Structure 1
Amino acid sequence: MEELVVDLSSNEGIILNLIWTYAGIGAIPLTAASSRNVVLLKFSDGRDSIKSLPTVLDYVFKTLEHQSLLIPSDIALQGTMDSFIDLAYKHNFDILDLESLRILDNYLLNETFLAGYSVTVADLVIFVSVYNWVLRSKQKERLEFGNLMRWFDHIQHLPEIITSIEGFSLISLFDEKLVITKEKKATKTASKKDAEGKKVKKSEVPVETRPYDDVTRLNILVGLVNSIRKHPGADKLYCLKIDIGTEVRSICSGLVEFLEPDQILNKKVCVLANLPPKVLRGEESNGMVLCVSNEDHTVVQLLEPPSDTPVGERISFDGYTGEPDGVLSTKKGKETFYMVQKDFICRDRIGYYKVVSTHNSCLIIERRIPTFVPQRVFAVAHL
C-alpha cells in the first residue's frame, strides 16, 4: 500500500493534486503534509520512500494503469515529456527566468502541446510552473512570448484545469486596449510607408521552412572538462562539469565502460549544447558529449577538437550556413541530431559530415581532429 504525502500549498503539491484529479488516480491516496515543501511517497512494506516529484511520477505511471491518459505512447515523446518535467524540476517548479521562458516559447512555435497531440503530464507540470510568471508579468512582457501565451491560454481553458487548483483563476492575458493601441500604431506606420511608395506586408507569424535534418540546427561547441566523478546512482555514467565559454554545464556521459577519468579530465571536447535539459537519476544533464566508436561499439573515444581551438567556439560545417535552434526538438520525426548522425564519420583522425569521397566531403571542423577510431561519430551522454 502506498501513500503520497505532500505540501498541498507548494507548487509540487499543486502539480500532484492536479495530476491526481485530472487522471483520476485513486489507488494512491494523496495526504496533506504537516510540514512545508514535502513530497514523500511512502510504502507500507518497508521500502525506502521516494522524495522527488519526477521520481514519484515515474513510479506512479509505470505502476498504475493511467498511461493512456497523460503519458504519450511513443517512446521519443515520453523522452520529450521527461525533458520538460526536468526543466521545471531544475527551477523548483517556478520558472521565472527569461532564458527558460524563451526555450519554451521557441519550442511551441509549431506545437499545440508539449509532448504530442494531446495534453500530457508535461503540460500540467509546465502550466503550474509558469503560472506565477504569467500572473505577475506585464502585458508587454507577455507579448514577447506569444507562442507560450497561446499554449498557456489553451491549457487554462481545458476542462478541469483551473477548477482543480485551489487559488488559481483564469488569467486575462492581453488587455484589449493595449492590443488596439499597437494596431493603431502599426496602421499609422503602414500609412507612412504607403506614402513613400513602399509595399507594406501584413505581419505574419514566422513559418518554419528549414528541414529538420539541417545540420546547422545543431549548436556544437568546444568545451573543456573541468571535473569528473562517477554518478552515484548509475554505474555507466560520469558526471562532468564542462566549460563551454559562456557557462559551465553539468553533463552526464556514458563513458565509464570505455574511458578512465584521467582520459577525460582537462580534455577539450565537442558538446551538443542545445538539447532540452534532463535529470538522469537525480543528476542534471544539460548537453551531450560527442564521441567516436568502432562498428561494434567496443571501443569509444572522445571527438576532440584541435588543442588550440578556443573554448566556446561553435563547430561549423563546410558549405553549410545557418543559426542553431534555441532548443532542439526531441519529437519523433523532428530529432535533428539522430537524423544527421548517420552522416557523421571519422576517417584518418578527421571528422567528416556527408562523406562521398575524399574530394567531396565536409569537415566537421576545419582542422585535424585527434581521434583514433576511424568509424562513426555519435553522442553518448544519455546512455
Structure 2
Amino acid sequence: MSSHIVNSSQDEVKKWVKFCSNFTASDGKQHALLDNLNQDLSQKSVLSGDGFKLSAADNDVFATVHPFVIRVSDSELQKYPHVLRWMDYIQNTVGSGTTLQKINVVKSVFDPPSHPKKADKGDAESSLKKAISGQKTADKSNGSADSKKPAGETKPPENKENPTAAGNNKTSGEKKKEKEKSAGKTAEKAPEKVADKESECNISVLNIQVGLIRKAWKHPSADSLLVEEIDLGDGNVRQVVSGLAKYCSPDDLTNRHVVLITNVKPGKLRDVMSAGLVLCASTEDHTAVEPLIPPEGAKIGERISFAGFDGKPEDVLNPKKKQLDKITPHLRTDENGIATFKGVPFTTSAGPCRSSIRNGNVK
C-alpha cells in the first residue's frame, strides 16, 4: 500500500471527525454543514470506503446529525435529497427496528406502463377453431383408448394384506406435497433456536444510561478500587464500585458524566455494595483506561440507544445466562473514538458517546 493511499485514508477519517465535532458544537450553523454534507454525497453512496460498504464514518456522522434532522420540517429536508437518500440507506441497512426514530423519506413509486398487444380478429378466430378441433380429436382418441382397456385396469387393486403398497400408489404430486410439509415443520423449529441464541447477545437487554458522579472516594479495603455515588436523575442515586484507582483519582471522577449499566445484579465488592457497572474504554495492553464520555447536552438518566437493536431491557440481568460475557466482546471504540456495539454507535439525544482511546475495548 502506498503512502499516498494511507495519507488519503487518514485525511478522510480526520475530515469526518472534524465534521462531527463542528456539527455538535455549532449553534445555528447546522443547516450550512448539512448542505456541505449533501454536496459531498451527491457523487457517492456512502462517505468513504469502496463507495457501497458502510464504514465507521457513516455510522458516526449518522448518529451525530440524526437528532437535528429528526426535528427539521419535511419541506426543509427536501433541500438535502442526497443526505436523505444516504440516511435512508443506513437506517434500512443497519435494521428497520431501530430505537432511534426513523427518518421519514418520501420515495417516488415507479409504475411502468403496460401495452398488451391486441391480437388480430381473424387470427383469434382461426386460433379458436384450431383449439376446438384439436380438443375434439384428443377426446375422440382418449375415448377410443379407454374403450380398449380391460375393466380390471381402470382401478388399481387394493392390497389389504400390505397397506404400505397401497400407500405407494400416491401420485408424484401428493408425495411432493408431503415432503414439502415435512420440510416445513423442520424449518419452523430451526429459527427458534437461532432467535434464542441472538437474543442472548442483543444489546437491548442491557439498561445503559447516562449518569453524573456526584462523589468518589477510595475503597476502604482495596487499593485498586474506587467507590462512586452516581446520580441518574429523578432522585435515583446509586453506589457503584469500579476498578479505576490505578487510572483515575477521586477528584478526576467527581462531577464527571459517565455511561453505566444499571440493571446488573447488585452485589458486594470487598464488602462494599455496588449497583452498577461504569463502562470504560481501554487499550489492548490495558495500560490506559478511561470511562466513556457522553456528549455535551446528553440528559442525566437517559438510556443509550443502538440503531437496529430495539426491545426493553431486563429488570435485572440473570448472572447464570452470562449475557454480559456474550455482549462485551462486541463493544469497542472505532478509529474515531466512537463507542460502538458491532459497529453501531452508543447514541444519546445529543449524539454518540466517545473516548480518547481509539480502536479500544469497552467493558
| TM-score by shorter chain over 0.5 | no
Please report the TM-score for the alignment, with normalisation by the length of structure 2: 0.43
Relative CO higher for 1 or 2, CA cutoff 8 Å, sep ≥ 6? Answer: 2
> Radius of gyration: which is bigger?
2
